[in-house]
Amino acid sequence: MKITFDFNRSYWFIRIVDSGNITRAAELLNEPKAKLSRNLSLLEEELGVQLVYRTTRQFKLTEAGLLFYQKAKTHIDGILEAANQLSEEKSEISGLIKITAPDDIGVYVITRIISEFSSIYPKVSFELIYSNEVLDLVKLGVDLAVRMGSLKDSILIQKRVGNVKFILVASPKYLDRNQPISSPEELHEHQTVGFSSKSPIWELISKNKTKTIKLKHKYVANNFIAIRDLALRGHGIAFLPAFLCDSNLANGDLIHVLKNWGDEGSPIQIAIPHQKNVSKKIKTFRDFLSKKLAENF
């Protein structure tokens, strides 16, 4: 038997069931309660079955109502999702993106990338949270995070986009007043500046060789920018992300020492919270950011 009926009634039926009763559905849909009740009755007439047991105190699906709800909801929600995606594709990207990143990558890399993105998509605004703490993205409502190192958070969608290499640097002033350094073992004879939350061990790699150097740092800091500034002021040799030293190496304020020794690098990851539908705005920025970070790292 061929059945023809108004699909709006099926949509309203789904929303009524999702809401728990006609009264709440009417409030959410901004439709008169009487209209929804009437259309529910008409849907039952069109289908030729009772969908709901309803009294003044109870709203409960019949067996036929439950079957129709389960089958219809999948298709109706799919149609609505497809329509929303098409509408989103046609619309201009706009709105707020909330992003977090480590201090150094944020200040020296992310801010510049955001500026480039904003010139292409001027209606997008940003809230930037630069912090070395691993923040709870869901709790803080953060759309996207850039993080350095391996991530263990299974509730995040992760994408590796690059690798941060570390190098040994010192200022000309420091090197001029101290003995030359030609091997990792000689680091013990020099002042060093280290990261306070890390072990005072530098694992240096050169081709197939690995040297593990345990040091007693003269200075420690919890921020790579501060460590770089201490090195710039002549307070010792530092083991720093190469991108943070590029301009200082170019103008001679820092010297790359033990050039054949470095590390395997630390991965740069982009992470977003798991969600059923990632908005076009976030997808577009994530793809742009991925490309730019890959160019930098």
Q: Identify the domain boundary among 90, 124, 152.
A: 90
Decide which of 45, 65, 90 is a domain's last residue: 90
Residues 274 and 135 in one domain: yes
Among 9-18, 83-92, 226-235, which range has the highest average pLDDT? 226-235
Instruction: Give how far Cα 296 sits from Cα of 5, 96, 259, Å.
Output: 58, 25, 20
Which of 12-16, 156-160, 261-265 is predicted least confidently?
156-160
Within a 10 A sphere around the Cβ of 11, how many other Cβ atoms? 18
Is 1 inside any structural domain?
no
CA pair distance 89, 82, nearest whole angstrom: 11
Residues 192 and 76 grouped into a single domain: no
Instruction: Please state, as a whole number, how many other Cβ atoms lie within 10 Å of the Cβ of residue 224.
Output: 23
Q: Which domain holds residue 170?
A: 166-257
Q: Taking a C-beta distance cutoff of 8 angstroms, is the pair 145, 102 a contact?
A: no
pLDDT digits (tens, 9 = 90+) for 228-282: 999 999 999 999 999 999 999 999 999 999 999 999 888 999 999 876 578 889 9
> Which of 28, 55, 90 is the last residue in one of the domains?
90
CATH of residue 171 = 3.40.190.290
Out of 148-162, 189-203, 234-248, the most confident range is 234-248
Q: How many domains does the chain have?
A: 3
Distance, CA of 79 to CA of 221 (rounded, Å):
55
| Amino acid at position 197, single letter | S
Position 21, amino acid = N
Sign of CA dihedral 104, 109, 115, 121: negative
- Our CA dihedral for 171, 177, 182, 188, rounded to 10 degrees, sits at -90
Domain co-membership, 139 together with 272 = yes
Q: For residue 41, give the CATH number of its domain.
A: 1.10.10.10
